[in-house]
Amino acid sequence: MVDVARRAGVSLKTVSRVINNAPHVQQQLVDRVLAAATELGFRRNHLASSLRSGQATATVGLLIEDIANPFYATIAGVVAEVARQHDTLLIIASSEEDAEREERLLRDLCSRRVDGLIVVPAGYDHAFLRPEVELGTPVVFLDRPAGGLLADTVLLDNRGGARAGVQRLIEAGHRRIGILLDSIGVYTMRERLDGAQDALAAAGVGYETRLVRDGIRDPVGAAAAVADMLDRPDPPTGFFSLNNRITLGVVEELWRRRSDAALVGFDDFEVAHLVPRPLTVIAYDTRALARTAAELLFQRVSGNPSWPRTIVLPTELVERGTAA
């Protein structure tokens, strides 16, 4: 600003008034300051200005797991849309399911004085954010709850959805149901597995650990797990997959074998209607999930002082596949 003032031949105060759109500045001075700013490539430092004035920075942070995953890409797109409606810049970071990386990124976002955070947690302890929350930085946790921190949370009815999905298999006559999940350490996986166990227990069907496969990270691993279970005596007649990447691998192996085993999968996906066999998915509105979290965050940024809330969005069973 000193350089702009020198180039325009005006005072530093005049430059400040022009840059901050103050009223009652002579047009000729405005023109001279803007011309000098253009010549020098001047850009206003919004962060420095906000720190000096104590005003909001008009930025919020979003921490997700993997931006390449369509689920998180949709969330990022919706949150960006809501942020744009509030004239706010969105900074997106990816923790890659690494708790240490998550903490490092969240501390970095806080050091940039963002006005608020939406977090899909990777770790189990978020007490390190308590000083920031106490200083007035609102945080909304999405898809999974925080650990060691009372905060707004927006979740899916994972347990209820899984219960309904496995109940559908039981009602169709299946008693040996193969269950495939990512990691029991992930909140959503635990909730979905608990829902499956609820349905089995309610129907008087035993929970057999031999029919459960943990640590399935991708479609290739899912296909291999299904192949192993189908090759054993008394193989499953139905499968329950706990996320859409696992579902893709199950579909591939069942189709390769021309197996008529039933399949229910958690999470809908874009090409589910093209799967060449019947498939039931546990669907939900990802956009509504993201929008609910984003709007809740901006309510907090605007000063809503109410007690932290937990909002649970519903799921539904939807028939997919070309033979549905």
Which tens digit of pLDDT belongs to each residue from 166-208? 999 999 999 999 999 999 989 999 999 999 999 999 999 999 9
Beta-carbon contacts of 205 under 8 Å, excluding residues fewer than 6 positions away, are 170, 175, 177
Both tokens of 248, joined, read: 């893709």
23 lies in some domain: yes
- The whole-angstrom separation of Cα 157 and Cα 141 is 15
Report the pLDDT value the prediction gives residue 69, as an integer from 0 to 100.
Answer: 83
Same domain, 308 and 167: no
51 lies in some domain: no
322 lies in some domain: no
Beta-carbon contacts of 179 under 8 Å, excluding residues fewer than 6 positions away, are 193, 196, 211, 212, 213, 239, 240, 242
- The whole-angstrom separation of Cα 296 and Cα 141 is 10
Residue 185 belongs to domain spanning: 158-284
Report the pLDDT value the prediction gives residue 324, as an integer from 0 to 100.
Answer: 52
Report the pLDDT value the prediction gives residue 44, as an integer from 0 to 100.
Answer: 64
Q: With bands split at pLDDT 50, 70 and 90, how would you rate the model's confidence at 56?
A: low
Both tokens of 57, joined, read: 């920075």
Same domain, 280 and 300: no
In Å, how far from its chain's centre is CA 110?
19
Same domain, 167 and 237: yes
Question: How many domains is the chain built from?
Answer: 3
Location of structure tokens 């978020």: 126
Mean pLDDT, the chain, whole residue set: 92
Q: Give the CA dihedral 64, 69, 73, 76, nearest 10 degrees.
A: -10
Note the pLDDT tens digit of each residue in 236-293: 999 999 999 999 999 999 999 999 999 999 999 888 999 989 999 999 999 999 999 9
Longest dimension (CA), the chain: 89
Report the pLDDT value the prediction gives residue 47, as an integer from 0 to 100.
Answer: 52
In Å, how far from its chain's centre is CA 235?
35
Note the pLDDT tens digit of each residue in 121-140: 999 999 999 999 998 999 99
Both tokens of 4, joined, read: 């702009």
